[in-house]
Chain A
Amino acid sequence: MGLKWAFAGLAAAGLWAGTAAAQDIVIPNIIELSGGGATVGAMWKNGSSMAVEEINAAGGILGRKIKLEFVDTASDPGKARAAMQRALDDKPVAVFGPIYSGSVSATLKMTAEAEVPQIMGGEAGPLTAQGSKYIFRTSFGQNVSMPKIANYLRDGIKAKSVAVVFVNNDFGKGGRDAIVKELGARDIKVVADVSTEAGQADFAADVIKVKGANADAVFVYLNEEESARFLREAKKQGLNKPLIGETTLLGQKVIELAGDAANGVKGHVGLTVDAPVPAIQEFGRKYEAKYKSKPDHNGVKGYIAPYMIKAAAEKAGKLDGKAIAAALHGLTITPDKVPGILIEATWDESGEIDRISFLGEVKDGKQVITETLPKLKK
């Protein structure tokens, strides 16, 4: 009899193990693994992988393990769309990415129609203004960050005129439009409005134009690699005006690529592992030990994405895309309940995120946080 029970138990255990493996929650991660956004995608990939390992080691979400599936968009909205279509055909519980706003813009209607929550890294303002109930940010949209930058230019830098350098893609144009509007509202003149191309290698002419404009400050809003190339060129040509940026320009990857040329850059930082928050610093150390490089904000964005799904699924009590999206709206996730969220964050009805942010500058090749700005709504 005992033997019979033992066999039954073994069989049940075997069966259980088999179904558990088959029932892993597969989350497609549609991100920029090559092309202009390769640095961004690599950070996000590492961050999200790390979080998934931790969540799985602690028992998964509602008893099920997560498996991430990485798909490269090559930083191209068309490819991102095709990848998203294939991913949605399998009816996933959620999708992560893309990170480039143009690719998010090309895919957000698809996830809305499929009723699958999309945890993405895009920062262009319009992404959350299109009525999708399934899009969620992991960092501030430009509608939140640009007013903070404009205040800083007025109060911190005391600039009366600003040269704006932006990248001619959805991210850059969205940011440029938002900052020009905010500067206008504060009576700060835009004396140069310099458009650059994604993937641009040579910034000599752009820097000469900015120098010629003789503005009180230069607002640089480019992607990572282009930011680094611009800073190198600016240093080479001796551009001696305050260079002000939003998160990216003060990011770790830009500092690494730009070297000395990043020193002196100042601005608003939505998210950073140098923030005076122990949990996020600890994350930075763990990441660095594992991947031998220091994470930037995209590493943190990727890291919190699985924890957002975990918190929302546990609140909803089921692993269902629609229920997870509904649970995320209006949800505040606090680090005391979900340590992986690192900093308390709230998502509103449009998927916009609210949390504390920072002012900082680059000193001796390191980002230094000088001030912490509170959450917008408490």
Chain B
Amino acid sequence: MTDLLQLLIAGLATGAIYALAAIGFTLLWQTSQTINFAQGEFVMVPAFFALIAMKLGIPYVAALVVAILMSMLLLGAAFRYAVVGPLLNRGVLPLVISTIALGIILKESVKDIYSAEAQVFPTLLPDRNVTLLPGVTISLAQIGVLVVALITIGGLQWFLAGTRTGRQMQATAQNPTVARILGVPVERMILYTFLINAGLAAMASILVSPIYLAKFSNGETLGLIAFVAAIVGGFNQVRGAIAGGLLVGVLDNLAAAYVSTAYRQAIPLILLVLVILFRPQGLLGRKEERAV
């Protein structure tokens, strides 16, 4: 029982990181029909921006800010205009293929420019444990990851629903043509979603790298799991991606403990198949009403 409780909390902490990456999938899909298969690498790269900044003598916290800004610039704006822009009206498949290529390029560049070895990445979070119940010790770092991720997600939800720009973004997502007629600057809204996606990926990177160590290959599994989480939760709903991320995180931990570590990676995929079979729009998704 105490094991189960600890597994749930650990799973939620990992799941919150998956959710950050999964939200990006849904944002890009809604505004520009981009399925970004480089999303895992988008989470891997910002840690290296921070490491490079620290090597240049920039203090840790400032380096994190640099990492977030650099990823918004390169993985947000440059990605939007250099990769997605030219292919936007050519259907989903060319975009998917180009993001797969981008992922490979990012991964190999980090390996060549920085190192193929895993790197220590410092953590912002306290390195202590608290005992919740007898036998249930939880690290503050784990809680910290969960809290930071949830604050980020909460902030995003508030932005989307509570601000004028956020509502304009939602309008763009729901129907770009009508949004344009109503005077919404659709192009700018699409750019914003790319910037937000890059920012979220950078947050995920900062949270996950102290645990996983920063390494060029970290994106491989992360990207796949985030993709699965987005589909499970509902590809067209931000809250779906959050639920999907948390669910996959918990399931992954339970599977590792009670099934086997060797099979753990298959469990989210089985969940994915079940969702596609029985609830194709995802657990919290709505049926696609977009006119294609």
Contact = CB atoms under 8 A, between A and B. Distances in A.
A196 B3 contact: no
Nearest to B7: A208
A143 interface: no
B10 to A, nearest CB: 4
Contacts of A280: none
B213 A257 contact: yes
Which of B11, B13, B261 is packed against the most chain A CB atoms within 10 Å? B261
B257 A208 contact: yes
B116 A237 contact: no
Given A33-B116, A34-B116, A42-B117, A204 B213 contact: no
Given A229-B212, A238-B129, A196 B261 contact: yes
B14 interface: yes
B253 to A, nearest CB: 5
Nearest to B5: A208
Given A204-B253, A212-B3, A195 B211 contact: no
A228 B10 contact: no
A237 B139 contact: yes
Given A236-B139, A237-B139, A208 B127 contact: no
A260 interface: yes
Nearest to A74: B116
A344 interface: no
Contacts of B254: 205
Contacts of A228: 118, 213
A206 interface: yes
Interface residues of A, number: 35
A200 B261 contact: yes
Interface string A83-99: 00000000000000000
Nearest to B13: A204
Contacts of B138: 237
Interface string B28-56: 00000000000000000000000000000
Interface in A330-352: none
A233 B14 CA distance: 13
Interface string A216-256: 00000000010011001101111000000000000000001
A168 B262 CA distance: 8
B262 A197 contact: yes
A236 B142 contact: yes
Contacts of A128: none
B215 interface: yes
A290 interface: no
A55 interface: no
A260 B213 contact: no
A223 B204 CA distance: 26
A272 to B, nearest CB: 20
A237 B137 CA distance: 6
Contacts of A206: 256-257, 261
A73 to B, nearest CB: 12
B11 to A, nearest CB: 8
B116 A236 contact: no
A297 B139 CA distance: 33
B3 A39 contact: no
A211 B139 CA distance: 14
B163 interface: no
Nearest to A167: B261
A259 B120 contact: yes
A209 interface: yes
A237 B6 contact: yes
B217 interface: yes
Nearest to B6: A208
B221 to A, nearest CB: 7
A208 B3 contact: yes
A267 B260 CA distance: 27
B221 A168 contact: no
Which of A168, A201, A232, A233 is packed against the most chain B CB atoms within 10 Å? A201
A38 interface: yes
A168 B256 CA distance: 14
A39 B211 contact: no
A260 B127 contact: yes
B211 A229 contact: yes
A35 interface: yes
Contacts of A260: 127
A78 interface: no
Contacts of B7: 204-205, 208
Nearest to B119: A257
A202 interface: yes
B215 A197 contact: no
Which of A33, A35, A38 is packed against the most chain B CB atoms within 10 Å? A38
A14 interface: no
B118 A204 contact: no
Given A225-B118, A229-B212, 8 more contacts: A168-B262, A199-B217, A205-B252, A205-B256, A205-B264, A208-B6, A236-B139, A238-B129
> Closest 6 CB pairs between A and B?
A205-B256, A204-B10, A201-B212, A38-B116, A34-B116, A236-B139
12 contacts: A35-B217, A168-B262, A195-B261, A200-B261, A201-B213, A202-B252, A205-B253, A206-B261, A208-B6, A209-B3, A236-B129, A236-B141
Interface of A: 33-35, 38-39, 42, 168, 194-197, 199-202, 204-206, 208-209, 211-212, 225, 228-229, 232-233, 235-238, 256-257, 259-260
